[in-house]
Amino acid sequence: MRLRNYTTMLDPLEEKFGRQSNLLFFIPALLGDLFWTAAILVALGTTFGTILGLGLNTSIILSGLIVIAYTSVGGLWSVAVTDVIQLAILFVGLTLVVWTIAGSWPYLGEIYDEYRLSFGQRALLWPTMGVLGNSKALWWDSALLLIFGGIPWQVYFQRVLASKDANVARNLSILAGLVCLLAALPPILIGMIAHTTDLAALGLPEIEDPSFVLPHVIKYLTNPVVATIGLGAVAAAVMSSADSSILSSSSVIVWNVFPKALNESQLNSIKKIRYVIWIVRVCTMLIALQVGSIYQLWVLCSDLIYCLLFPLLVTALFDPKANAAGAYAGFFVALALRLGGGDSLLGFDAFLPYPQVEGIITIPFKTIAMLAGLSTIMLISRIFPNKTAFAEH
């Protein structure tokens, strides 16, 4: 994609299926960003709430306004610069927190041993029956969603497509994967510390909501200086994701959805992105205030990207016979199969006869929806090979 000089993730879809197709295909991309940023604002709100003693709703609104303000003023440059600083704060701050609480590697080993006593096979670093449960299919459904559903995000491609060249884009992508693994270690260790520490015996308040584990441990199990650095690290990490997501969805709307005539002037595009940033993020704050669950919002946005956008991106890039007719057919087939499994967050039940045990679907219906969409695009494109004009009328 970098070699082809695309501007956004939707550019190859526009090139392959026609510009008007983006009026439909941008919707899951936008909703994914909206739900993802809402989850981020909830996380940032819990951190600010712990630091300042504010309510969750007040903290979400405050954190949202801060992120929106500097993103709309500075654009991609401000996001890139602040991300470098925030990443450094994240690693230094959380590593300092872990080391302050644990004190030594042997003690971390003791914490892990105690953690394993509670969680058994679920505490191991590889998939075991404790994790897989009665259905391996459900675990693989989530695993594949994590792997392939993590690809078609404008928040990632805005960095790839802004890289100096394709080699830099590829190398930084690989490096980013390794950095993500390293960045996950301190929160994992802090979670283990929270589980193995008797807070009541120390005269400390119990953790009422799992969403507050990280800031709660940092605030009450470290000294004030380390607590300030640690909570600042959490806030920095969350804001690093929020500002990127804000800019990415706004860029897609301006570049891929607005008529081309509006994109001819770079200055006009920049102004429109700033306006759209405020509109989109107000919607994001409203979602965050209504849901308040980081995990539920993350799962929902990942579903949309995995089932609907991943098949479109794959065929746009790698299937020379894919066309608009196949793309539309595949999109709606995948959407029907995914919605047929229901969604508790959106408040509707399953309407397709998927096998269930105690209300839980026992087959990987998300992966089935994705594969059905992918197959439909390829099949319909070959049955109706001359339907590319469908997207252009």
Return the domain boundaries, the chain.
11-136+153-294
- Tens of pLDDT, residue by residue over 127-148, are 777 777 667 788 888 889 988 9
Higher pLDDT, 49 or 123: 123
Three-state SS across the chain? CCCCCCCCCCHHHHHHHCHHHHHHHHHHHHHHHHHHHHHHHHHHHHHHHHHHCCCHHHHHHHHHHHHHHHHHHHHHHHHHHHHHHHHHHHHHHHHHHHHHHHCCHHHHHHHHHHHHHHHHHHHCCCCCHHHHCCCHHHHHHHHHHHHHCCCCCHHHHHHHCCCCCHHHHHHHHHHHHHHHHHHHHHHHHHHHHHHHCCCCCCCCCCCCCHHHHHHHHHHHCCCHHHHHHHHHHHHHHHHHHHHHHHHHHHHHHHHHHCCHHHHCCHHHHHHHHHHHHHHHHHHHHHHHHHHCCHHHHHHHHHHHHHHHHHHHHHHHHHCCCCCHHHHHHHHHHHHHHHHCCCECCCCECCCCCCCEECCEECCCHHHHHHHHHHHHHHHHHHHCCCHHHHHCC
Specify which of 221-235, 335-349, 371-385 reaches the highest per-range mean pLDDT: 371-385
- Tens of pLDDT, residue by residue over 202-213, are 888 888 777 778
User: Residue range 345-350: average pLDDT?
Assistant: 73
The pLDDT score that the predictor gives to residue 271 is 61
Enter the pTM of the model.
0.81
Answer yes or no: CATH 3.30.565.10 is held by domain 11-136+153-294: no
User: Residue range 274-282: average pLDDT?
Assistant: 69
